[in-house]
Amino acid sequence: MRWSAPVVALAMVAAGCGEPPWAAPPAPTGLVDGALAASPRQPGAATWQRHCAICHGASGAGDGFNASLLAVPPPTAAVLAARGEGLAAAIGEGSAARGASPLCPPWAGVLDRTEVAEVVEHVRRLADPAR
Residues at the site binding other proteins, with contacts judged by CB under 8 A? 1, 3-4, 7-8, 11-12, 15-16, 20-22, 24-25, 27-39, 41, 46, 50-51, 54-55, 65-66, 69-71, 94-96, 101-110, 114
Shortest reach from residue 76's CB to other proteins, in Å:
17
57-64 LR contacts (CB < 8 Å, sep 24+) = 59/126, 60/123, 60/126, 60/127
Our separate counts of H helices and E strands in the chain read 7, 0
Shortest reach from residue 5's CB to other proteins, in Å:
9
Q: What is the largest CA-CA distance in the chain?
A: 94
Shortest reach from residue 67's CB to other proteins, in Å:
9
- Show Cβ contacts of residue 96 under 8 Å, excluding neighbours closer than 6 positions: 102
